[in-house]
Chains A and B, each alone.
Chain A
Amino acid sequence: ETGVTQTPRHLVMGMTNKKSLKCEQHLGHNAMYWYKQSAKKPLELMFVYNFKEQTENNSVPSRFSPECPNSSHLFLHLHTLQPEDSALYLCASSHPGSGVNYNEQFFGPGTRLTVL
């Protein structure tokens, strides 16, 4: 395993539900990421947190709300989602880096989300 865990692994929710995805990393990293992976589309970066501060919001709709209480935990709160939001949601972590030293990311197994 990569040291990054995600729960739940599978989630089915209605459009009016509120649910949360959880990610935890045991690697001592200070950067955490949420990605969305839809069928036949490239992996899309959603949010980035560095040292608990959000440093990137890739024009994500407000029905997705991230939370990073500490460097080891990352949440994605979901409300009033649409069927097109059905996808695999991946969490990743890394040591912060920049330029040629931008570091590799360690991914969790993902949460398969289905919105009915």
Chain B
Amino acid sequence: SQQGEEDPQALSIQEGENATMNCSYKTSINNLQWYRQNSGRGLVHLILIRSNEREKHSGRLRVTLDTSKKSSSLLITASRAADTASYFCATVHTGFQKLVFGTGTRLLVSP
């Protein structure tokens, strides 16, 4: 299976703290994307990182990619209660033209 796995499955922090979520995958990729989903709603694209990139930033988000370890991390700095959501990594594997979503991390940020 190409499906990635996020770690941890659930994360509970206080406002102002940083949140780190990890994604591991099994076969080589062309790019990796992170999405956010509020409860029962659609997914929202956050950031895309290509296989030849190692780090990208977008506002309070920082994504790293280590293709040698087949892993990526999403860091949310100075978290807010509004960041409470599920976060998914999705991979585009070499030779395939589709996104494969992981199982997600549920983040709860308490005021």
Contacts and interface: CB of A to CB of B under 8 A. Distances in A.
B102 A42 contact: yes
Contacts of B101: 42-43
A66 interface: no
A114 to B, nearest CB: 13
Contacts of B3: 42
B92 A107 contact: no
B47 to A, nearest CB: 9
Given A100-B51, A102-B31, A102-B92, A107 B98 contact: no
B97 A4 contact: no
Interface of B: 3, 30-31, 33, 35, 40-45, 48, 50-52, 88, 92, 94, 97-104
A99 B35 CA distance: 19
A101 B51 CA distance: 10
Contacts of B44: 2, 107
Given A99-B30, A104-B48, A45 B98 contact: yes
Interface of A: 2, 4, 6, 42-43, 45, 48, 55-56, 88, 90, 92, 98-110, 112
Given A100-B30, A101-B31, 7 more contacts: A99-B94, A100-B52, A103-B48, A107-B42, A110-B40, A110-B41, A112-B40
A90 B42 contact: yes
Nearest to B94: A99
A88 B42 CA distance: 9
B67 to A, nearest CB: 12
B97 A110 contact: no
Nearest to A91: B42
8 contacts: A2-B42, A98-B97, A99-B94, A101-B50, A102-B92, A104-B48, A105-B43, A105-B45
A108 B33 contact: no
Nearest to A31: B97
Contacts of B100: 45
Contact of B30 (A92, A102, A112): A102
A108 B52 contact: no
Given A43-B88, A100-B50, A4 B98 contact: no
